[in-house]
Structure 1
Amino acid sequence: MAESTIWWLLAGSVIAVELLTGTFYLLMLSLGLVGGAIAAHLGATVPVQLVVAAVLGGGLVVAWRSYKKHQPPALPAGANRDVNLDVGETLQVDAWNEDGTSTAKYRGAAWNVSLRPGAVSAPGLHRIVEVVGSRLVVEKL
């Protein structure tokens, strides 16, 4: 069996494991194995193929880790617009209770509403910043 065939089989196996586990880092390592296969196709010796696979795979893992480290953390589901489409919508609050809660009409139903910590309790138009159970957490626009 040709050396490049072994590299391609290894790359395919790592991709299969990545599909089962969902670990993106394995995809980066499989790209390193593809680099080893291409080096084998170009006629490189086995030590050079190993170095290419290790440097490429390891470099991609380090690059991906660095990229992920500099991304902002994901919002919790209740405050994430991608998960809950109510986040970012507006509603009218006519009056606030002394404890910072109210009831407001939203989407044709009465909802319990509370203020985001530190927000001002004034009647008017408010934006939904989070949904906690059946309670809307809002802030004044």
Structure 2
Amino acid sequence: MNTWMVWATLAGAVVILELFSGTFYLLMISFGLLAGAVAAFLSAGTSVQLVTAAIVGTVATLALHNSQYGWKGNKDAARDPNVNMDIGQTLTVSQWQEQGGGRYTSRTMYRGAMWDVELQHVSGYPGEYVIQEIQGSRLIVRPV
């Protein structure tokens, strides 16, 4: 078996592993292994094959990591509408109680239950508000 075939077989095995993991990072490593196969096919030495595979795999992995499809930092679940369906929904508040320091609280009906509602850094007037964040059983809102 030729050396380039060994590289290509390893690349295929890594692609199969990638199918089980569900990430694209192993696919980027397989690109590096294919680059090693190309270097072997062009009759490069073993050290050139290894360096080529390492450089291409590393560059491809870093490029994926920095792209829009790469790893993303943890989001605050209290503010993430993908985690909590209530973020971005509107509700009506009939009256506010000032708590001092620019903080206003209220109780209002939302989805068939009474909720504690908090408004920060804005004077509270009755009307429509949008849910910005959920902290426990409190809805943090902003004016529409």
- Scaled to the shorter chain, the TM-score interval is 0.7 to 0.9
Unmatched segments (≥5 aa) in structure 2: none
In the alignment, is residue 109 of structure 1 matched against residue 113 of structure 2? Answer: yes
Q: What's the TM-score, normalizing by structure 2?
A: 0.73
User: Please, which of 122, 127, 136 is the counterpart of residue 125 of structure 2?
Assistant: 122
The aligned residue for residue 91 of structure 2 is 91
CA–CA distance in structure 1, aligned partners of residues 72 and 36 of structure 2: 34
The aligned residue for residue 82 of structure 2 is 82
The percentage of counterpart residues that share the same residue type is 41
CA–CA distance in structure 1, aligned partners of residues 134 and 55 of structure 2: 46
Secondary structure in 2 matching 1:98: strand
- Report if aligned partners of 2:35, 2:53 keep a CA contact under 8 Å in 1: yes
Unmatched segments (≥5 aa) in structure 1: none
| Larger proportion of helix | 1
RMSD over aligned Cα, in angstroms? 3.0
CA–CA distance in structure 2, aligned partners of residues 29 and 104 of structure 1: 54
1:1-141 alignment runs, 5 A limit: 1-11=1-11, 12-13=13-14, 16=17, 25-40=25-40, 42-45=41-44, 46-67=46-67, 73-99=73-99, 100-115=104-119, 117-141=120-144
CA–CA distance in structure 2, aligned partners of residues 38 and 119 of structure 1: 64
Q: Deviations over 1:55-114 (max 9, x none)?
A: 21111133234447xx98543111101111110010001111122111111112111111
Number of residue pairs matched by the alignment: 136
CA–CA distance in structure 2, aligned partners of residues 123 and 92 of structure 1: 8
| Larger proportion of strand | 2
